[in-house]
Structure 1
Amino acid sequence: MSIAVENFVKAIYNNNSQDTKNTKPGNIAKKLGISSAAATDMAKKLAVKDLLHYQKYQELQLTDKGKKMALNIVRKHRLWEAFLFKMFDMSLHDIHKEAELLEHQTSDLLADKISEYLGHPKFDPHGDPIPNAKGEITTKDTSISLSNAEEGKAYIISRLISDDKEFFEFCAHQKLKYGHEIKVTKQFKKNKMTELSVHNNNIILNEDFSNLIYVNELDH
């Protein structure tokens, strides 16, 4: 399959995995930087190949065949992120950018070798689950977005969902990293802002940011 097809299928899978679950052609087009007409045309072609279900004005849904393809690409992408982060201590933005290129050139054999070398990791450095060789995600996601976290409770950052460079630079500057402990000190519901304490430093995030940071409640 072409890189364009792989990216299209992966975009549908990723969008469907997020809270918004918006997989209409226009939204996929925006994610991929193509026109809505091009996205609709691609969707129709992939429906003929039995990779997705297409209905006019409706959300795009992957078939079992399409989901298997998407999970295979996602597996390679996240394994490369884990490898690059471990070997070169690259930024979260840079490992994502490089993995976008490498995922399409990676055989199943090489993916298995990378996984074995890393000790078969369950998560990538962003906290996203890594599918196994069978295309299965064996971890259960119990995380919630920071905007939905409760005041006064301590949490562990479990996922950072973005591909924006400034977002990751901000997170690194504020020590908002995967696996780090935070405490939600105040939720400003009316103004859609969250105040939290990280390493004895108080910061306030707007909803655009707090919706991209996922956490699990800390067990003491």
Structure 2
Amino acid sequence: MSTAIENFVKAIYKNGKRDNNDTKPGNIAKELGISNAAATDMAKKLSAKDLLHYKKYQELKLTDKGTKMALNVVRKHRLWEALLFKLFDLSLHDIHKEAELLEHQTSDLLANKISAYLGHPKFDPHGDPIPNEHGEITTIDTSIALSQAEEGKTYIISRLMSDDKEFFEFCALNELKYSNTVFVSKQFSNNKMTQILVKNNTILLNQDFSSIIYVNETN
């Protein structure tokens, strides 16, 4: 399959997993940087290939075949991120950029070799789950957005759900990293801001950031 097709089904899969759950062609077009007309044309084409269900003005739904393809691409992407992070200690933004290129040139054989070399990781450096070779995600996600966390409780960062360079630079500067601990000192609900304590540093986050940092409560 072409890179464009793989990116299209991957975008539908990933958008379907987000809180807004918006997989209409217009939103997929925005995600991929293409026109609405191009997204609609692609949706019709992939519907004929039994990769998705298309109905005018409705959200796009992947078929089992389309989901399998999307998970295969996601697996390769996240394995490359894990490998690049381990070998070269690249930034989270840089490993994402490079993995976007490498995922489409990677055979199933190489993906399995990378997975074995890394010890079959279940999460990438962003905290996103890595599907296994059968296209299955075997982990259970119990995380919540930091914006929904309770005051006075300690949490562990489980996912950083973004590909924005400035967001990752901010996270790196403030020790907001996968598996690090944060204490929620105050939720400013009226102003949609969250105050946290990380390694004795107080940080005030707006909802744009607190809604894409996911955490799990510590035991």
Query: What are the ranges of 5 or more consecutive residues in structure 1 without an aligned counterpart?
Result: none
Aligned residue identity for 1:207 = Q
Per-residue CA deviation, residues 146-200 of structure 1 (Å, 9 max, x unaligned), is 0000000000000000010000000000110000000000001111000000001
For 2:126 and 2:36, locate their aligned partners in 1 and report how far apart those are by CA, in whole Å.
29
For 1:156 and 1:186, locate their aligned partners in 2 and report how far apart those are by CA, in whole Å.
16
Number of equivalences: 219
- TM-score normalised by structure 2 residue count: 1.00
Matches within 5 A, 1:1-220: 1-219=1-219
Q: Percent identity?
A: 77
For 1:61 and 1:149, locate their aligned partners in 2 and report how far apart those are by CA, in whole Å.
31
Aligned partner of residue 129 in structure 1, secondary structure: coil
Aligned residue identity for 1:38 = A
- TM-score normalised by structure 1 residue count: 0.99
**Moved segments of 4+, more than 4 Å:** none
Query: What are the ranges of 5 or more consecutive residues in structure 2 without an aligned counterpart?
Result: none
Aligned residue identity for 1:129 = P
For 1:59 and 1:193, locate their aligned partners in 2 and report how far apart those are by CA, in whole Å.
31
For 1:210 and 1:196, locate their aligned partners in 2 and report how far apart those are by CA, in whole Å.
10
For 1:210 and 1:57, locate their aligned partners in 2 and report how far apart those are by CA, in whole Å.
31
For 1:104 and 1:28, locate their aligned partners in 2 and report how far apart those are by CA, in whole Å.
19
What displacement does 1:63 show?
Answer: 0.2
What displacement does 1:67 show?
Answer: 0.1
